Structure 1
Amino acid sequence: MARDEDKEAGTRLDKWLWAARFFKTRSLATDAIDAGHVRIGGDRAKPARHLKVGEVLRVLTAGDEYEITVLALSDKRGPADAARQLYAETDASQQARAQRKVERALAPTFDHPDLKGRPSKKLRRQLDAFSRGDR
Structure 2
Amino acid sequence: MAVEHADDKKTSGTTGPDTTRRTSDADATRATGGEGTSPEPTPTPGAGPQDVDTKIAAAVAAAEAAAPKTGETVRLDSWIWAVRLVKTRSMGATACRGGHVRVNGERVKPAYTVHVGDEVRLRGEGRERIVVVKRLIRRRVGAPVAAQCYIDNSPPPPPRAAVAPAGVRDRGAGRPTKRDRRELERLRGLFGQGNPEEQ
Structure 1 residues 101, 72: CA separation in 2 closer, same or farther (over 3 Å shift)?
farther
What runs of 5+ residues in structure 2 fail to find an aligned partner? 1-68, 181-199
For residue 157 of structure 2, what is the aligned residue in structure 1?
98
Give, in whole Å, the separation in 1 of the partners of 2:142 and 2:165: 35
Q: Deviations over 1:10-52 (max 9, x none)?
A: 4111110110111111111101101111001110111111101
For residue 39 of structure 1, what is the aligned residue in structure 2?
102
Question: Equivalent pairs: percent with the same residue?
Answer: 34
How many aligned positions are there? 112
SS of the residue corresponding to residue 85 of structure 1 reads helix
Amino acid at match of 1:76: R
Give, in whole Å, the separation in 2 of the partners of 1:39 and 1:81: 24
- RCO comparison, higher one (Cα < 8 Å, 6+): 1
What runs of 5+ residues in structure 1 fail to find an aligned partner? none
SS of the residue corresponding to residue 77 of structure 2 reads helix
Aligned-pair RMSD on alpha carbons? 2.6
Of the three residues 66, 71, 81, the one matched with 2:134 is 71
Give, in whole Å, the separation in 1 of the partners of 2:178 and 2:89: 47
Of the three residues 122, 126, 145, the one matched with 1:82 is 145
Give, in whole Å, the separation in 2 of the partners of 1:59 and 1:129: 35
Give, in whole Å, the separation in 1 of the partners of 2:152 and 2:99: 20
**TM-score, normalization by structure 2:** 0.49
Of the three residues 82, 87, 107, the one matched with 1:19 is 82
For residue 30 of structure 1, what is the aligned residue in structure 2?
93
